[in-house]
């Protein structure tokens, strides 16, 4: 074990420097090291994020004036579909688990790697193949898919655009997700360091563990549903098409049985990151460790049962509607537990308002708006009026973008020094965040008002009275994109020219902060023995002086 | 939980493959498939779905226990399986609220 971490002259060798069987690009493409695979995922996701963001930018440009500006309705339909597919399936769902989870799960539990390293690399290949298929489908004869990312039947059965290839892309991406889930569950059960009981796991691991179970249980359902759509398109079986005796609402059930829990695949890992960052920067034990850990499991479980709230206006039975509405309100409870515990953790803490912490503050503000407007949509009476309006678009961008993506950025800033051993310019990072928050609210809060006034989603045209607000939102999108680009440029410059960060620049207590930055190939010279919980700051010196 | 038990492969599955039993189960599964198709041709009214699901459940039990090795695994894996089946049942019931009451 120690052979790989120390060179022949006794110097420590990090995982970038380690020379394995392959070097250069093959050293990355054939590596089974969880850290390299995590970085491969992160690189892929940032690339896809920039593509998705560019599509969103052009959608907003089209909406500058009523009527046609820079594209026709068919192109606009294709653009919002691809924006959704890329952002959901290629960025947010794999986002934090596959990227940061791969890099940090083994280190945080005191393991050398995940349980199945080769399967881990295979998952990344599946992810890449799925992504490439989705992009390739744009250039096939039928033209880019225009169904929206939800692929609702019967339209997805009848449209002349290329549907089968993007569906197969989503199918393959699903396999990647399942395999990552299997790997994480097994790793958490079997590779924890001596002394690390379940209730001494960092809360990021609890979140990844809960997420992994949803990935394993939920993803096969969307896989089967996708295959049924393909079979129906190819052979006209009549499963979902009402013209052939099928039931289109059954498609919605099957789609949302996975895709609502997928919302929790997206947000739970982000909540885990928040639970890491707040104690580190408040220098205080997290308030209600057990409650936060168990609330992750509760969210994962109850979140599996609430899919019908996407279908209140679909024509399903009245009994279903109130049952799903009731269950939806229940899921707010464990989410509330987390928010209140985070805030309570900060109470009387010695807060250091560094960049990752500021991102978390932005998250709590934006996610709370997203969560509370979710209650408006979870109520039957109000949802009927707001369904399929910009209000819904605003709600899920506050939750998914203001929630998951902001925490993806927070994680990037929090673990950047550990992953690369260098530090970015924190002042510019804070300015970029401020610009992003202003642009974000200009863009998406306006959507709430537009939706309330009746602006339907997915329309490339609108009534003249909405023009002022559309233009204000579009200017907001420019401000937000400027902030995002500034953030990435700052991180890139930090990667290139940043100062050395040291092993524990933030004063964290979880195990990744006890190993060198960047970590060695197998993470630890000697597998640590865990004596204390992950946030017991009264033992800070003892834990962090025991540097591997 | 310790590192040694997974890294050195000592706990690798060592049970007898028992090809004979596997082939018997395979033949049983094929027979049940034939029965499913045959029953589909008989008009059982409201019981059609019930009978099909019952046969499918028997087939699943064979596949899960033998081909997926659950019969030979630790209690933990069996508990996970029970949990997953319960989730599946809840999903069926919730969907039923719509399908049967629409």
- B95–A contact, CB cutoff 8 A: yes
| Nearest CA-CA partner of A268 in A219, A209, A343, A321 | A209
Share of chain A above pLDDT 90, in %: 86
Average pLDDT, chain A: 93
- In this predicted structure, what is the pLDDT of residue A20? 81
Higher-scoring residue by pLDDT: A270, B14: A270
CA angle A254/A255/A256 to nearest 5° reads 95
Beta bridge partners of A520: A14
Higher-scoring residue by pLDDT: A18, A547: A18
| Nearest CA-CA partner of A276 in A372, A413, A399 | A413
| Residue pLDDT, tens place only, A448-469 | 999 999 999 999 999 999 999 9
- B85–A contact, CB cutoff 8 A: no
Share of chain A above pLDDT 70, in %: 97
Residues B6, A112: C-beta atoms closer than 8 Å: no
Asked: is A2-545 a CATH 1.20.210.10 domain? The reply is yes
* Chain B, nearest residue to A196 by Cα: B1
| Residue pLDDT, tens place only, A400-426 | 999 999 999 999 999 999 999 999 999
| Nearest CA-CA partner of A248 in A154, A150, A151 | A154
Torsion of CA A161, A260, A183, A227, to 10 degrees: -30
* Greatest distance between any 2 Cα atoms in chain A: 75
Residue A270 contacts residue A404 (beta carbons within 8 Å): yes
Domain boundaries, chain A: 2-545
Distance CA A249, CA A293 (A): 35
* Chain A, nearest residue to B91 by Cα: A305
| Residue pLDDT, tens place only, A511-528 | 999 999 999 999 998 999
Residues B6, A190: C-beta atoms closer than 8 Å: yes
Q: Is the pLDDT of residue A498 over 90?
A: yes
Selected residue of A320, A524, A529 to mutate for chain B interface (largest B Cβ count, 10 A): A320
Higher-scoring residue by pLDDT: B42, A473: A473
Torsion of CA A76, A82, A85, A90, to 10 degrees: -150
Residues A191, B3: C-beta atoms closer than 8 Å: yes
Mean pLDDT of B87-102: 90
Beta bridge partners of A389: A456
Residues A317, B101: C-beta atoms closer than 8 Å: yes
- In this predicted structure, what is the pLDDT of residue B13? 52
Judged on CB neighbours under 10 Å (0-12, 13-18, 19+), A506 is buried
Give the total residue count for chain B: 102
- In this predicted structure, what is the pLDDT of residue B16? 58
Phi, psi (degrees; rounded to nearest 5) at B30: -60, -40
* Chain A, nearest residue to B95 by Cα: A253
Residues B97, A319: C-beta atoms closer than 8 Å: yes
Question: Which among A191, A217, A249 has the least Cβ separation from residue B87?
Answer: A217
Residues in chain A with CB shorter than 8 Å from the CB of B12 are none
Q: A residues 227-286 near B, CB within 8 Å? A: 249-250, 253, 257
Residue A415 contacts residue A104 (beta carbons within 8 Å): yes
For the whole model, what pTM was predicted? 0.91
Instruction: Write the CA distances from B60 to A217, B33, B57, B75, integer angstroms.
Output: 16, 12, 5, 19
Question: Where do we find the tokens 């924190």?
Answer: A426
Instruction: Write the CA distances from A324 to A61, A316, A396, integer angstroms.
Output: 37, 11, 18
- In this predicted structure, what is the pLDDT of residue A381? 92
- d(CA A1, nearest CA chain B) in Å: 12
Q: Is the pLDDT of residue A227 over 70?
A: yes
- d(CA A315, nearest CA chain B) in Å: 8
């Amino acid at each position: 074990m120690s052979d790989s971490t120390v060179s022949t002259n006794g110097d420590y060798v990090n995982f970038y420097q380690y020379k394995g069987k392959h070097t250069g690009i093959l050293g990355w493409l054939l590596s089974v090291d969880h850290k390299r695979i995590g970085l491969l995922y992160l690189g892929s996701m940032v690339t896809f994020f920039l593509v998705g963001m560019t599509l969103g930018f052009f959608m907003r440009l089209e909406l500058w004036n009523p009527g046609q500006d820079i594209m026709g309705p068919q192109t606009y339909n294709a653009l919002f579909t691809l924006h959704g597919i890329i952002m959901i399936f290629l960025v947010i769902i794999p986002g934090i688990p596959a990227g940061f989870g791969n890099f940090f799960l083994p280190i945080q539990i005191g393991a050398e790697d995940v349980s199945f390293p080769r399967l881990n690399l295979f998952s990344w290949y599946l992810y890449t193949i799925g992504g490439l298929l989705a992009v390739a489908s744009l250039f096939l004869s039928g033209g880019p898919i225009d169904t929206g990312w939800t692929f609702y039947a019967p339209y997805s059965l009848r449209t002349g655009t290329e549907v089968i290839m993007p569906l197969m892309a989503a199918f393959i991406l699903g396999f990647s997700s399942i395999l990552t889930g299997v790997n994480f569950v097994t790793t958490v059960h079997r590779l924890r360091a001596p002394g690390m009981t379940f209730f001494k796991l960092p809360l990021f691991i609890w979140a990844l563990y809960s997420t992994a179970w949803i990935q394993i249980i939920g993803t096969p359902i969307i896989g089967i549903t996708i295959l049924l759509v393909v079979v129906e398109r190819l052979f006209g079986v009549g499963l979902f098409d009402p013209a052939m005796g099928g039931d289109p609402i059954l498609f919605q059930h099957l789609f949302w049985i996975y895709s609502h829990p997928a919302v929790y695949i997206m947000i739970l890992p982000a909540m885990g990151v928040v639970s890491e960052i707040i104690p580190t920067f408040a220098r205080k034990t997290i308030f209600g460790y057990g409650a936060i850990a168990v609330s992750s499991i509760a969210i994962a479980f109850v979140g599996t049962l609430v899919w019908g709230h996407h279908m209140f206006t679909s024509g399903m039975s009245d009994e279903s509607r109130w049952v799903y509405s009731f269950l939806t309100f229940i899921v707010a409870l464990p989410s509330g537990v987390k928010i209140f515990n985070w805030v309570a953790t900060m109470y009387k803490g010695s807060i250091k308002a560094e960049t990752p912490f500021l991102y978390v503050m932005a998250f709590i503000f934006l996610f709370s708006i997203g969560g509370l407007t979710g209650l408006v949509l979870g109520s039957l009476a109000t949802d009927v009026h707001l369904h399929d309006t910009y209000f819904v678009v605003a709600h899920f961008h506050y939750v998914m973008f203001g929630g998951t993506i902001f925490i993806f950025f927070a994680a990037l800033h929090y673990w950047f020094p550990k992953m690369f051993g260098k530090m970015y310019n924190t002042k510019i990072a804070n300015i970029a965040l401020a610009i992003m928050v202003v642009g974000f609210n200009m863009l998406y809060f306006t959507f709430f008002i537009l939706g309330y006034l009746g602006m339907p989603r997915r329309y490339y045209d609108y009534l003249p009275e909405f023009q002022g607000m559309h233009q204000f939102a579009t200017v907001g999108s420019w401000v937000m994109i400027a902030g995002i680009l500034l953030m990435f440029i700052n991180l890139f410059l930090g990667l290139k020219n940043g100062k050395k960060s040291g092993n524990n620049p933030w004063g964290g207590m979880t195990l990744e902060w006890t190993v060198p930055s960047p970590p060695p190939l197998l993470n630890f010279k000697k597998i640590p023995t865990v004596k204390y919980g992950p946030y017991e700051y009264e033992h800070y010196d003892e834990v962090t002086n025991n540097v591997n | 939980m310790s590192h040694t038990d997974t890294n050195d492969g000592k706990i690798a599955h060592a049970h007898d493959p028992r090809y004979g039993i596997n082939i018997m189960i395979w033949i049983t599964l094929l027979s049940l498939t034939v029965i499913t198709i045959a029953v589909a041709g008989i008009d059982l009214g409201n019981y059609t779905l019930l009978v099909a699901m019952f046969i499918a459940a028997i087939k699943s039990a064979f596949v899960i226990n033998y081909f997926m090795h659950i019969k030979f695994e630790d209690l933990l894996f069996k508990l996970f399986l029970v949990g997953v089946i319960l989730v599946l049942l809840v999903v069926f019931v919730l969907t039923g609220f719509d399908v049967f009451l629409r």
